[in-house]
Amino acid sequence: MGDIKSVKKEYEEIINQISNPELASNWEEFERISKRKKYLERIIDSSSELEEAKRQIEENKMILKSSEEPDLISLAEVEIKSLEERKKVLTKEIEELLKEDKDASESFNSVIIEIRAGTGGDEAALFAADLYRMYSKYASSNNLKQKILDSHSIGIGGFKEIIFEIDGPDIYSKMKYEGGVHRVQRIPKTEKAGRVHTSTATVAILPKPKATEIKIKPDEIRTDFYRASGPGGQYVNRRETAVRITHIPTGIVVTSQTERNQLQNKENALAILSARLLEKKQLEELSKIASDRKSQVGWAKRAEKIRTYNFPQGRVTDHRIKKTWYDIEKILNGEIEKIIDSLISAQSK
C-alpha cells in the first residue's frame, strides 16, 4: 500500500491550499480541490479502518496464544474470521479507489499526436510521414475519427512536422506509450552506394483536455494571421488563412494552416495549445508527487529512444520491453495492436 503515503501527503497539501484565502475568489478551482479532498478522504478513512482491523486481528491472535478459557478462545476465533473478511473488503475497496483515480487520469477520448523529423535530413522527414501513416491506418482500421491540425511538408512526401488528432474511447490509455524517439535503419532512396542510414523522428502523445479542464482566457493569447505556404515556400492560397497563436503567460506558440479559413485554423491551433497546456500542468503536478507515484505515469519522455524500425532485418524492436516483431511492413501499415498490448501488459506488471 505504498500509494497511501502519497495520498496522505497530497491530502495535507490540499488542506493547506483550502486554507489559502485567495482560493475563495476562484470558485472553479475551489470546487475541483473540494472534490479531490472528498475522494482522498474516502481512501484515508478506508485505510484507517483497514489498519484498525489488522490491529484487532493481532490482538485476537494473542488471545489464542495466551488464553486457556474456551469461551474466550471461541470468541477470538469468530472475531478473527469476521475481521479477515472485513480486511479483504477494505483492501479491495482501496484498490478500486486508487484504480478509479488512475483510470480517471487516463480516460481521455481524444489525443493530439505530434510527429517531428529528427536527425537524418530528408530521410527523417520521410520516416515522420511513415509514422503518421502507421497511426492513421491504425485509426482507420479501428473506425476512429482523425483530423490533421497542422503540417509542414518537404515536397517529396515527407513531413518536417505533422500534428493530428485521433478520437476514440480511452484512446489515450492505448496510445500514451508511443511518445518518445523512434529510430529507422534503412537504405534511403537517395543513397547510391546502398549504405544503411539511421534517422529519427520524435512522437509526442498529448491528451486533449475537456473544455472545462483547461481554460484559455482571450487576454492571455496573441493571434496572428499569415498566408499558408506549401513545399518550397509557394503560397497555397492568397488569403491569410494560416493562424499563429502565442500564449503570453507561458510563451507557448502554436500554428495551424491545414484548413481554408481562419476560424477552422484558429480552432485547430487552440486545440493544440490546450493539449500542450494540459501536458505542462501534468508535468508540474508530477514533479510535486513522490517518486512511487511517478512510476505509474509510464514511458512518455520525448527524449527517450523507445523503438527501432530496421528494414534490412525486417524487424521492429521496442527497447523498453526488449521485444522484437519481424513483420515491419504490417506494423507500418497500422497493425500496432500487438505492440500496444505488449506495452500495456508490461507496464501493468
Q: What are phi and psi of 221, to 5 degrees?
A: -125, 150
- DSSP lists the bridge partners of residue 235 as 229
Per-position pLDDT tens, the chain of length 349: 447 888 888 888 888 877 777 666 666 567 667 778 888 888 899 999 999 999 999 999 998 888 888 888 899 899 999 999 999 999 988 887 877 665 555 557 889 999 999 999 899 999 999 999 999 999 999 999 999 999 999 888 899 999 999 998 878 888 988 999 999 999 987 777 788 999 999 999 998 887 666 888 889 999 998 887 654 444 445 467 889 999 999 999 999 988 888 888 999 999 999 999 988 887 776 565 444 333 433 444 456 789 999 999 999 999 999 999 999 999 999 999 999 999 988 876 5
Q: What is the Cα–Cα distance from 310 to 303, expressed in whole angstroms?
A: 20
| DSSP label of 229 | B
**Sequence-separated (6 or more) residues with CB below 8 Å from residue 257:** 150, 151, 228, 229, 236, 241, 242, 243, 265
Residues 182 and 199 placed together within one structural domain of the fold: yes
The CA-to-CA distance between both ends of the chain, in Å, stands at: 15
- CATH assignment at residue 279: 3.30.160.20
Domain co-membership, 117 together with 202: yes
Q: Clarify whether residues 227 and 281 are in a common domain.
A: yes
Q: 95 with 108: CB under 8 angstroms?
A: no
Q: Smallest Cα–Cα separation from 205: which of 166, 153, 244, 243?
A: 166
Residue by residue, DSSP assigns 161-194 as: EEEEEEE-TTHHHHHGGG-EEEEEEE--TT-SS-
Residues 145 and 22 in one domain: no
CA–CA separation, 161 and 112 (whole Å): 13
Last residue of a domain, one of 288, 314, 331: 288
Domain span at residue 309 reads 110-211+290-348
128 and 173 in a common domain: yes
| Shared domain check, 234 and 97 | no
CB of 134 within 8 A of CB of 336? yes
Pair (278, 300) in one structural domain: no
- Three-state secondary structure call for residue 124: helix
Domains: count for the chain: 3
Report the CATH number that the domain containing residue 344 is assigned in CATH: 3.30.70.1660
Interior CA angle at 311 toward 310 and 316, to 5°?
40
Assess whether 281 and 310 both reside in one domain.
no
- Contact present, 260 and 237 (Cβ < 8 Å): yes
Q: Are strands 305-310 and 180-186 parallel, antiparallel or unpaired?
A: parallel
List C-alpha distances in Å: 282 to 4, 31, 275, 285. Answer: 20, 19, 11, 5
Q: Which residue has the cell 484565502?
A: 21
C-alpha cell belonging to residue 208: 486533449
Instruction: Give the whole-angstrom CA distance, residue 259 versus residue 267.
Output: 10
Do 279 and 214 contact (CB within 8 A), yes or no?
no
| CA–CA–CA angle 166, 321, 208 (5° rounding) | 20
CA distances from 259 to 147, 149, 268 (A): 11, 8, 9
Angle between helices 27-66 and 70-106 (to 10 degrees): 150
Residue where one domain finishes, among candidates 106, 128, 161: 106
Q: Are 246 and 328 part of one and the same domain?
A: no
* Residue 228 identity (one-letter amino acid): A
Of 258, 288, 318, at which residue does a domain stop?
A: 288
> What's the pLDDT at 235?
42
